[in-house]
């Protein structure tokens, strides 16, 4: 299990690989399942999430910057320190297995270095290391304690606004292992039936959501048979909001997903559209991701267009357009454990330009009286209320109270947009805003 975790950490460090893609493949390849797979998953994702804290402790224990430590040894050290500080694994087992791993690959001398660093790391608890190493300012301290870059923690605090006192609770939720969320395909299976078949629990907010405590959802029969898919409940609420938004005039059944890859929302919209014999166009500029959309929407009334959403060439007149815009993904960090250490503030500036262009393109494609729903899996104010507010000021868009499109969902902000949060709703931190084009 530890070797699998070490190998995933190495792939993430050397190739910028995605842990949630590499790990399942390695587990299958090596025939690891059950409790062993669960431990490998916890060690892998936990170490990826905790990188900032782990590296600070390693630097303190070694007396040198981590970028001066051999990469292979650093992977072993990160895995060892994570076990010491953030799991119930005994200190003796955590140190001995890490030293043996280093000895087998690098020899006796370097394994002694690993042994020395880990023994120093184990002299204090995680709380004591936080006391010693964390910045003094409140946001910096919380960011260090819950293993987030400071700029991301500050962005979350800004988005929480007057409720910034919830930052610690939010970061803790963001740092915890999330439940698996399934979506029951509308018209094929109900959430109640899916929960019974899978042993899961019906979702709290979406009538199509089911929660699983763990395991490989790809092995579940309903998922293999296309009756269900893996989709965060927040993403389900985005798609549902688009279909619930009030139009001026009848719904002619022309729907558009302008940023469709990899296809989760397009498939959900396609299943909902099929019930009323409506149709969905799905736009994705990358052929590889477009193929994923095709697979997700097989046998549904969805046509995939491999074009740039900013210049799609599609005929205007859509009743409903979803702009689930490319974003920093800061709201889904709990599901992408290494992503928090890859993003930078410069990413925000670049993506905001793209988001504004896509929203403008959607506006040109929606009919008078139709609705555009703008969403991001990021709560960063520059990607959410700023993009929408700027567009509303420049256009004649009528901003709807998006809260009304989520009946029963509580604590979603002061409107007119909606912000979901992991610590309040158990979902990714999805933002959504509905805009109607005047007649």
7 annotated ligand-binding residue: no
- Check whether 259 is labelled as a binding-site residue: yes
Reduced to 3 states, what is the DSSP secondary structure of residue 400? coil
Tell me if 52 is assigned to a ligand binding site: no
3 state SS of 186: coil
Is 308 labeled as ligand-binding? Answer: yes
| Residue 188, marked binder | no
Q: What is the DSSP string of 307-356?
A: S-GGG--PPS-EEEEEEE-----GGGGGGSTTGGGT--HHHHHHHHHHHH
Instruction: Spot the catalytic one: 322, 377, 429, 430.
Output: 377
Query: How many angstroms separate the Cα of 276 from the Cα of each of 187, 251, 270, 435?
Result: 10, 10, 10, 23
What kind and span of H or E run contains 408? none
51 contacts 147 by C-beta, under 8 angstroms: yes
Residue 214, marked binder: no
Contact (CB, 8 A) for 304 and 297: yes
| CA 289/CA 295 separation, integer angstroms | 10
Among candidate residues 406, 414, 382, the one with its CA nearest the CA of residue 152: 382
Burial category of 171 from C-beta neighbours within 10 Å (exposed 0-12, middle 13-18, buried 19 and up): buried
Residue 324 is labelled as binding a ligand: yes
Instruction: Please report which residue ranges of 122-226 form alpha helices under DSSP H.
Output: 126-133, 138-145, 150-160, 167-174, 191-198, 221-224
Q: Confirm whether residue 186 is marked as ligand binding.
A: no
Q: Is 264 annotated as a binding residue?
A: yes
Residue 262 annotated as binding site:
yes
377 part of the active site: yes
Binding residues for S-adenosyl-L-methionine: 259-265, 284, 308, 324
Q: Give the residue numbers annotated as catalytic, written as ranges.
A: 377
Binding residues: 259-265, 284, 308, 324
């Amino acid at each position: 299990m530890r070797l699998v975790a070490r190998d995933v950490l190495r792939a993430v460090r050397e190739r910028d690989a995605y842990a949630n893609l590499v790990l399942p493949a390695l587990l299958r390849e090596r025939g690891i399942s059950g409790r062993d797979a669960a431990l490998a998953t916890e060690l892998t994702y936990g170490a990826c999430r905790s990188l900032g804290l782990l590296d600070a402790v390693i630097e303190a224990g070694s007396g040198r910057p981590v970028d001066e430590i051999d990469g292979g040894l650093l992977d072993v050290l990160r895995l060892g320190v994570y076990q010491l500080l953030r799991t119930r694994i005994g200190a003796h087992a955590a140190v001995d297995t890490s030293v043996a791993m280093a000895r087998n690959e690098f020899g006796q001398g370097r394994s002694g270095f690993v042994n020395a660093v880990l023994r120093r790391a184990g002299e204090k608890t995680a709380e004591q290391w936080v006391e010693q190493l964390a910045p003094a300012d409140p946001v910096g301290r919380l960011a260090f304690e819950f293993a987030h870059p400071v700029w991301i923690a500050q962005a979350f605090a800004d988005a929480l606004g007057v409720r910034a006192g919830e930052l610690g609770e939010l970061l803790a939720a963001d740092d915890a292992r999330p439940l698996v969320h399934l979506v029951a395909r509308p018209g094929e299976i109900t959430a109640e039936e899916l929960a019974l078949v899978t042993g899961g629990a019906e979702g709290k907010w979406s009538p199509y959501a089911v929660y699983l405590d763990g395991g490989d959802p790809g092995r579940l029969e309903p998922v293999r048979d296309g009756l269900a898919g893996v989709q965060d409940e927040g993403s389900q609420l985005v798609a549902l909001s688009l279909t619930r938004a009030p139009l001026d005039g009848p719904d002619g059944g022309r729907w558009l997903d302008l940023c469709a890859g990899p296809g989760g929302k397009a498939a959900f919209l396609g299943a909902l559209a099929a019930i009323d014999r409506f149709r969905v166009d799905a736009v994705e500029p990358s052929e590889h991701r477009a193929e994923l959309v095709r697979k997700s929407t097989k046998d549904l009334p969805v046509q995939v267009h491999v074009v740039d959403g900013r210049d799609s060439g599609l005929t205007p007149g859509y009743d409903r357009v979803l702009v689930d815009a490319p974003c920093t993904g800061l709201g889904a960090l709990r599901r992408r454990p290494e992503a928090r250490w890859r993003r930078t503030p410069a990413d925000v500036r670049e993506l905001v330009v793209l988001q504004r262009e896509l929203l403008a393109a959607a506006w040109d494609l929606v009919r008078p009286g139709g609705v555009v729903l703008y969403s991001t899996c990021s709560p960063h104010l520059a990607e959410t209320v700023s993009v929408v507010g700027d567009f509303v000021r420049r256009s004649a868009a009528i901003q709807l109270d998006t809260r009304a499109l989520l009946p029963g969902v509580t604590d979603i902000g002061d409107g007119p947009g909606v912000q979901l949060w992991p610590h309040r709703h158990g979902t990714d931190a999805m933002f959504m805003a509905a805009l109607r084009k005047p007649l």
